[in-house]
Each structure stands twice: as structure tokens, then as C-alpha cells.
Amino acid sequence: MQGIQGIQGIVNSIALDEVDLFGDPVMDNALGGLPAPPLPSRQLQQRVDELRTRGCCQGIAWSRQGTIAVIARDAMSIDLRFIRCKPDNGDWELSEPDSWSAVSLTPSPPGPSPASPVSLASAGAPLVHLAWAPTSTYELAVIDALGRISILTFSISLNRPYQTRRWDADLVDDLHAVVGCYWLPLCMQSSKQFHVAHGPATWMQSEYRYEHTISPAFGPWHPNPGKSALLCVTTNGLLKLLFSQNNNRIEETALELESVTASDDLITHASLCSDRNTLLIALATASKQLRIVRVGIQWGLPQVDKQVPPGSVPLRPSLRESHVAVTSWFQHGPGESGLDMSMSQLSHVEILPSASEGPPQVLAPPVVLTVRSYVPHDSSLYQQEQECQTIIDRWEVVSDEPQSLHPAFEQLGSRSGAGPAPPTMTRLRKLDPIVLPKVVLNVQTMQLGRVLCFAFGDGTVQYRDRFTMNEIYNEHNTNSIMSPLQVGFQFLNDSPCLQVAFSPTNCSFVQISEDWTVKWNRLHYPMDDANTALQGTQQNAVVAALTIATSAAGASQISCDDILAIARPFTQKPDFTYSWIREMVNMFRIPVDYSEEAHHDQLVRNSLLQLCLSILNHLGFRGDFQPRSFGGKFAMLALNVRNIVVLITIASNTPVNLKEKLNPLDEPDVVDALAGCAKWGVDLLSWLSDCLFELLDDPEVMAMINDPKRFPELARYLQSKNDVSLHLLLCSSTRGFLSAACRRLLHVEALGSRAMMHFETRIQDPATATPALQALFQAYLKMQRAVTSSLVKVQDFERLLGGLSRDIQAAYQKSFAGFGARKPSQQGAGNTTEQQQAQQAQQMVKKAQAHCELDMLLAGNPPPSFREVLARFFGQSLPAFRAQTDPAKLYFANFDLLEVEDDPRSLARRRAAGKYIDVFNRVELISGRGVGDRARGLKSGGNEGSRGSAAQWRRCVRCAAVMEDVWGVKPGFTFVLAQQRRCACGGNWGLLPRGS
């Protein structure tokens, strides 16, 4: 045997191109003459070695908010990126990196001035792992090779973190290196703790019907809703728990899982998950053991209220473990390959919690996956040894029911015959392995753990069913859709990579290439011509697939920007955008009918309606200083009027628990922002009035309203003029926003009048006229003048809306009166049948009204019953309203603050001036010059909360809107500004370089 190995070593040491014994051409392969497959790159070999060395070495991660964090090539800093809508044309791209190493990492606002520069790698250890939390503040754990943990939070913009935990106090010891980490899921506040997943979309006759799947939500959770906690397993067997105390201070506790006394006991990989309100941990050791440990967390709270502890009661968590099973993860079987010793080295360990395969009451047991990859290092005589290969081993964590003992044996344990019950036994049941001819770089779970996604070193991905491990989404299927891949979408530009991170929607991913560049790969749909309409069944399938993909974002409030990027090429397709919004409304059952005078609070809190308007707004955006589409213009105004309603409401109604600490209306910055919102609001009312007056003078519009045969042409004519004013009034949701804005503007006017009376005497007294009081007085004066100088009286416009709403309600009642006629009840049915028939009739009326409202929301024609409403509106109400205004002033008024003028001359003028509108303060921003002078007397380019004198902007990554990057030290301004953590459209902010 030793002689054979020696001969083989000599043969391997001789280069094949030097052997030409018979004068024939040298073959590429000694056995068959076939060309040998290309060897993996040196970078891929190094990456696999890293995966084998430690469990936590993920250098790229994509947050639910949309931030892409990447460990730089020198491993001493992190680069922050995000996908964004390009302002010039609306297409999507990956942003340039913002590097954070020796930078000013400030505490989360409100707080002191920026901290001194902090280096993330101050001890010289390289950064090795990134992990995002599921919290709404989007915390990022940055871990280095020594196990030190720094936590950054991204509460405002995608590319500027604030440091909430420093690692200065962490031990500098490689035995504390982290091999597995896990963020706890967010607390389920509802009494029924379960997740709802939408899908599949099943084709039924002429439309898609959406099924809904319920899965249990497993703890443990952080006791405070909205917060999470980080758990880490170290190589010496410690389980660390980093949690946020009630005072927001991050504290730590630890538990020894394993007693490490020798090098074989060291833990190389670990994976954690929440299962049945406990932690389930899989540990892989250097001695090739796989151990399963279950850990419970007790937060040390009183028994009165377990969900939300009182603020005065500190958290004192304790951890308790129990070892449940152990086996060897290297079980070489007859069907496995033994090409190289590298097959006995792990690269991944993943533990999947219990999941419902069918009904939610029936749960499949947890599953442990291990990944072992073979990567050839050099040329070999055997072609088989030059091919990459990965073996995925699986074990089910099975709990067997205790077996009952014979009564004779039970009596031996106790004289009374009542011995202790046998314990439940937990074991690992080995399942058939999966062999793949590629190198696995990442394992991702999807659809509440039902689908596994494997990312490979060649840049491709593969989806498999978690229960059967069969490959899915690789065949065309439009009858039952769960993924865009089933209807023709596909990933393009596959290129070798080293690391992969998937987006929150799993519809795109970013990868670190072998040259360490970061690439974004999204789904594409093959289209011959972007202007050609899709076929009916084809468009229905595409719309259903995008709706299913968006469902997770709508239910969990995660970023769906990559889905918008995927759908962007379809904007040239006729009616595609409206079809998508209609499908989302049907699947989510989004309320769109607010014609019954519903409370404005319900309308403003309808986040799914905001998402639909946000999609409509983005897909109608064609670039800065470019005319918007009809739907984009409609949605942009609706979202902005909703935003000013929210800001005025928040500033005017301080929560009861905070009234003793802050009053936003006592701070000049808050009042100044409200003045800008008030000016924008009255300009909107004036612009709407001017547009309605133009329609009143348009003979075509009046002819369509007076002629029943031409009335169906009204919407098409308004779309040709790109005039959205009438749809904003007819649609009940946007009319509700306008009505709410009128009430807020009247409140602002009354507030300003009372403030003027209050300051009238104090401002003239030198003893009380302090600079702060003068600034507050000037802000209130500006706010009052914004409303009182309006070209349209807010009270008159509100009465106009009220009269139109009453006429629309009457029209609905008249149109659907036939639905309320009950059929004669059968004998013996009693009053119950009549009551059921009345309920059914009422549901039919609501469904019919919602259908009409959705049509108008999506630029459709008003129902025929609205013709009489419009005839009365344009014949009586609107002329009476115009008699109370000055149409000439409205015609020549400047509405630049609204950004609605889309004629070529107005757009060219704004483009030449480089003017943008701040969506928070509603003031002009000049590109490259900072902000305009404020009424409070601050210089251009700064304010009390600005960092430095140069102006810095935030830009929405979804709609390209801008606002000045402000943050204040006063509690009232900080409280109001916190409501602007997202753009009016719901998109996230990206911080622009200074002076841009």
C-alpha cells in the first residue's frame, strides 16, 4: 500500500505536458482526453476555509430596512450601501459605499454632541461577522475575530449609524470568538401568537384567488415590544445574552453550555433558533460531535404583567439549559464520496425550528442541517476529483413519547406503586443526505421556514422544499404561484462570488465578487419590447407573482424596494400599475371606501393604503423635473397631504405620559415646521380650486357631465390633460385626507390667533422679551400669516367638501337601494333568516361601493350615478364657491411649493434654478447651496440641530424626495421629527454627501 502511494506521488509530481513518450499530442486528461473542468479560484478556496474555521464569518448582510452592510476588504471597516431610485430617470441602482471605521459614531438622538472618532478595529483584530436585528430601529451587530461585539443602530437614515454599544470592555481572548449568533424575534402583542403568510395564488376560472397560511409564532421574546436581544455562542462554550434594559442601557449575562477542557471540545459552529418558546441550539465541536441544547430564558419580571414590565422594574434575565441529544456529524456512509479529507470539515450548521407542513396544529419536528463542501486545490489524474461537491446532512430532532413500564416494574420503584413517570426521550434521526455538484456559500430560509434557498459559489441560487428537500421553483407554473420564478422571472448575469446576502423579500441578492466588488443581482422578466402589452394570462400571472412577493413586506413592514425595481420595466405596459394595485387591494382586503364619514384616524393609520399609494407614486415618477404620470401625480399629492395631517396632529397632541416633559408648540423649530406645512396645505387648496375652475370653464368637461352617453369619456379626458383635481375630490380616501387637512389648518389658524394674543404684551416688555421668546413669536406669526393670507378660505373649501360628500352618500344609497330589498322569508325561517338576508344585502352594498371607490382611486371613471352629483357640483356648488374667491389671483399664483406644475416651461425653470422642496419644513432647497433663510433667523445651510455649517440632505430611496438632515436637542422638536424617520411615501432616507 505504501508503495502504491509512493508511485502515485511520483506520477502527480510529473507535469503532464512533459510526458510525450510516443510523439503524440499531450492529452489534457490522462484517462479520456476530455478537457478538465476549471479549478475553483484561490479566493473561493480561501472563503471555504474561512467557513470551516468559524461559524460566524458573514461579511455582507441586508437589513429589513434596506441597508446593505459589507465588511471592507481590509476587514477594518464596514461599507454601507443601499439600492435607490435614480433621481434623473427613476431607474434603480446600487449606491456608492459609505465607509465607517474611524468616524464620528454618535449616540442615538436625542443625545449629546457627536462622540469622538471611534475605530471599529482598534485592537487590530479583523471584523468577521455582521448580523441585523429585526427591530424597527434596525440594529447591526458588528463582531470581530476576538468575539468583541459592537452594536450600531440606524434609526434615521440607511447609511448613518449611531453606536449604542461599544466593545471596549469585552475580553481580548480568541477563546471568546463567536461561532454562532441570533437575534430574538419581536414580541407578538396579539393574544393569538401566529404568523399569516399569503399564498399561493391559485387560478380560479378568470382570476387568481389567494390562500392564507397560518403558522405559530415561537418565542422567547424580549419583554418590551419592539426590542430584541442578541445571543452569541463562543468557541469555549459560553452563551452570551446582550439585552436592552428598561432604561435603554445594554447589559449582558452569560451561561456555560459546554465545559471546554481540551482542544477537541472547542465549538467550531453553532446555530440558534426559537422553538416552542425556548431556544434550540445546535453545536458542532472539533471532535466531530453534533450536540443539541435547549435553553429557556426567564426575564425576572413580576407575575402581574409578563408582557410589558414597569419602567421602574429592571430586567434580571436568567438562562437555564438542558442537553437533549448528541451524535456525530461526520457519519461516512456507503453512498457518500470520500474524495478528500476536506469532506470531514464543516462549513455550515443550520437549525430550523418546528414548522407546520399542513394544518397549523400539526408541526414537523426541528431539523438540523450540516454542509460539507469539497473544493479541489490542484490538478489531479482523476477528473472526478476536480469537480466541486457539497453534501448536506440532515437530522430531525425527534421527541419520543415515554414508554409505559410493566406494573410489576413500577411497584419495584415505590411501595405505593406510584413511581415517577419515564421522561420524554429526544434523539436525532438521520435523514437521507443531499449531494450537490457545487459549493454552498449561504443557506437562507423563506416563507416562514418552509423553503430553503442555497447560494452557490458560481453565483447561482437553488430553492428546495424544507420538508422533502425537493427542488422547487424551477418549472413554469401559472396555476399555483408562490414565487416570481414560476412565471418567467429569472436571475441574470451569474458570476462567481465569495459571499451572498438576500434582500428582505428574497427577490434579489447582493454578492461579493472574487475581486471584492459588490454586485446587485435582481430578478428580470424577458421582454421583447417594453412598449408591447403583455397578453392577458401572462400579465395576470406576473401581477399575481409580484403581489405574492410584496405580501411579506406589507404584513411585516419591511422594505420592498427591490420589488419596485423589478416592476419598474413594466411601467410602459398599459394599465400594468393599476392592475397590480387592484390585485394588492383584493389580496390584503385593504379598506378603500371612506364615504361613510369614517374617522380620519382610521384613514391615516391605513398603512397598506399608504403602501399602494407609494407604489403608484414611484411607478409614476419619471425623474426630477420630469412630468409625472396621472397616477403618480395623484398619489404624490395624496401622500403629502397625509403627511402634513400627521405632522400637525403629532405636534398638537402630545401623549398624556409626555405632557409633563415636553410641549412641542413651545419650541420655535416645531412651530416653524408647522408654518411650512400650513403654507403647503393652503397652497394645495388654492391649486385645487384653480384646477376646478378651469374644468368649470372647459366646454368638453361640461358636455360630458350633461350628456349620459359621453359621461364614460370623462376619466380618459382628464388623463389626457393630466388633471387629478377632480379625482382627488371624488375618491373618498383622498377626500378624507383633504377634509382632515382643512380641520388641521383651521386648528393651526386658531392656535396662531391665541398665541398672538398671548405674546402681544410679553413681546413688548424688555424684561420678558428674551431671544427665545422673540424666536417663538416670529414662528407663530409666520404660521398665522400662512393661513390667513390664503387665496382660498379654508372654511369655504371644507364646506364645499362636506356638501360633495353628502351628495355622494345619497347617490350611493340611491344606486344600491335594490340590494336592500329582502326576499320574502320562507315559512319557519323566523327573524333569523331576515336578519341574515339584511346582513348579506349590507355586505353587497359595501362591496359595490368599495368597487366604485377602487376604480376612482385607480383613475377610473366615476360610476354613472355620480353624473347627477357632478352636474349639481359644477352647476351650483362650485360657482357659489368661486364667487367667494378671486379667480384672477389664483390663475397667476405661484404653486412651486407643491411641485405639480408639469408644463415644459415650469419644469425648465425649476431645473435651471435647482430648486427642491423640503418634505418636512416645506421650504425651498437650492441644490449645492443649502437651505433658504428660515423665519427664525438662522443662516442658510444650518439650523440648531445641524451637524456643521454645510447643509446636508436626505433623499428618499424610493421617490427621490429630499429634506434637510436635521436633528435637534430639544425634546419637542425631536419628538415631532421622529415622525419623519421615513419619507411621506413610506420610503427610507439615504444621507447625501455634504454640499450635493
The tens digit of pLDDT for each residue in 383-396 reads 455 688 899 999 99
pLDDT band (50, 70, 90) for residue 905: very high
pLDDT digits (tens, 9 = 90+) for 271-309: 999 998 899 999 999 999 999 999 999 988 776 554 554
- The average pLDDT across 622-631 equals 94
Check residue 697 and give its pLDDT.
95
Check residue 486 and give its pLDDT.
95
Q: Are 948 and 940 in contact (CB under 8 A)?
A: no
Beta bridge partners of 174: none
> Cα separations (Å) of 539 from 310, 374, 525?
53, 43, 11
Q: Is the pLDDT of residue 19 over 90?
A: no
H or E stretch at 214: strand 207-216
**In this predicted structure, which of 187-191, 204-208, 666-670 has the lowest mean pLDDT?**
187-191
The C-alpha cell 393609520 sits at: 605
> Cα separations (Å) of 572 from 86, 161, 967?
17, 38, 40
Neighbours of 101 (CB within 10 A): 17
**In this predicted structure, which of 140-149, 541-550, 842-851 has the lowest mean pLDDT?**
842-851
- The average pLDDT across 975-993 equals 91
Task: Compute CA 879 distance to the chain's CA centroid, rounded to the nearest angstrom.
Answer: 47
Check residue 255 and give its pLDDT.
94
- The average pLDDT across 812-829 equals 63
Q: What are phi and psi of 587, to 5 degrees?
A: -70, -45
- The average pLDDT across 560-566 equals 95
Task: Compute CA 794 distance to the chain's CA centroid, rounded to the nearest angstrom.
Answer: 37
Check residue 423 and give its pLDDT.
60
Q: Is the pLDDT of residue 102 over 80?
A: no
Query: How far apart (Å, rounded) are the C-alpha atoms in residues 573 and 538?
Result: 12
Q: Is the pLDDT of residue 939 over 50?
A: no
Q: Is the pLDDT of residue 163 over 80?
A: yes
User: Amino acid letter at 149?
Assistant: I
User: Amino acid letter at 548?
Assistant: I
Check residue 3 and give its pLDDT.
42
User: Is the N-terminal amide bond of 627 cis, ω within 30° of 0?
Assistant: no
pLDDT band (50, 70, 90) for residue 39: confident
Check residue 943 and give its pLDDT.
36
> Cα separations (Å) of 964 from 53, 430, 929, 977?
46, 58, 12, 12
Q: Are 586 and 547 in contact (CB under 8 A)?
A: no
Q: What is the pTM of this model?
A: 0.89
Query: How far apart (Å, rounded) are the C-alpha atoms in residues 340 and 507?
Result: 36
Check residue 596 and give its pLDDT.
84
Task: Give the per-residue SS3 of 335-353.
Answer: CCCCCCHHHHCCCEEEEEC
- The proportion of the chain whose per-residue pLDDT surpasses 90, expressed as a percent, equals 58
Query: How far apart (Å, rounded) are the C-alpha atoms in residues 512 and 592?
Result: 43
Check residue 712 and give its pLDDT.
95
What letter would DSSP give residue 922? Answer: -
Check residue 894 and give its pLDDT.
92
Check residue 353 and give its pLDDT.
93
Q: Are 917 and 924 in contact (CB under 8 A)?
A: yes
**In this predicted structure, which of 242-246, 611-615, 660-664, 723-727 has the lowest mean pLDDT?**
660-664
**In this predicted structure, which of 203-207, 802-806, 886-890 has the lowest mean pLDDT?**
203-207
Please name the residues in contact with 834: beta carbons below 8 A apart, sequence gap of 6 or more: 822, 825
**In this predicted structure, which of 854-863, 867-876, 972-981 has the lowest mean pLDDT?**
972-981
Name the nearest CA neighbour of 541 among 576, 505, 514: 576
- The average pLDDT across 814-834 equals 60
Q: Is the pLDDT of residue 405 over 60?
A: no
Q: What's the chain's Rg over C-alpha atoms?
A: 33
User: Amino acid letter at 10?
Assistant: I
Check residue 412 and give its pLDDT.
55
Please name the residues in contact with 937: beta carbons below 8 A apart, sequence gap of 6 or more: 775, 778
Check residue 653 and give its pLDDT.
85
pLDDT digits (tens, 9 = 90+) for 176-198: 999 999 999 987 655 557 888 88
pLDDT band (50, 70, 90) for residue 28: very low
The C-alpha cell 394674543 sits at: 757
Cell of 793: 378660505
pLDDT digits (tens, 9 = 90+) for 370-382: 999 988 876 554 5
Q: Is the pLDDT of residue 479 over 90?
A: yes
- The proportion of the chain whose per-residue pLDDT surpasses 70, expressed as a percent, equals 82
868 vs 3, residue with greater confidence: 868
Query: How far apart (Å, rounded) are the C-alpha atoms in residues 907 and 913?
Result: 10
Q: Is the pLDDT of residue 857 over 90?
A: yes
**In this predicted structure, which of 47-51, 100-104, 159-163, 939-943 has the lowest mean pLDDT?**
939-943
Query: How far apart (Å, rounded) are the C-alpha atoms in residues 816 and 846?
Result: 9
Cell of 39: 479549478
**In this predicted structure, which of 538-552, 556-570, 810-824 has the lowest mean pLDDT?**
810-824
- The average pLDDT across 726-751 equals 95
Check residue 107 and give its pLDDT.
41
Q: Is the pLDDT of residue 113 over 70?
A: no
Cell of 876: 351650483
Check residue 149 and give its pLDDT.
95
Check residue 32 and give its pLDDT.
47
What is the phi-psi region of residue 863: left when phi exceeds 0, alpha when psi lies from -120 to 50, beta otherwise?
A: beta
Check residue 678 and give its pLDDT.
96
- The average pLDDT across 444-460 equals 92
Q: Is the pLDDT of residue 110 over 60?
A: no
Query: What b/e sequence results for 76-99 when a residue is b if at least 16 CB atoms lie within 10 Å of its CB, and e otherwise?
Result: bbbbbbbbbbebeebebeebebbe
Q: What are phi and psi of 702, to 5 degrees?
A: -65, -35
Query: How far apart (Å, rounded) are the C-alpha atoms in residues 444 and 60?
Result: 13
- The average pLDDT across 218-230 equals 88
β-sheet with 930-931: strand ranges across = 915-917, 924-926, 930-931
Query: What b/e sequence results for 761-797 when a residue is b if at least 16 CB atoms lie within 10 Å of its CB, and e otherwise?
Result: eebeeeeeeeeeeebbbbbbbbbbebbeebbbbbebb
pLDDT band (50, 70, 90) for residue 940: very low
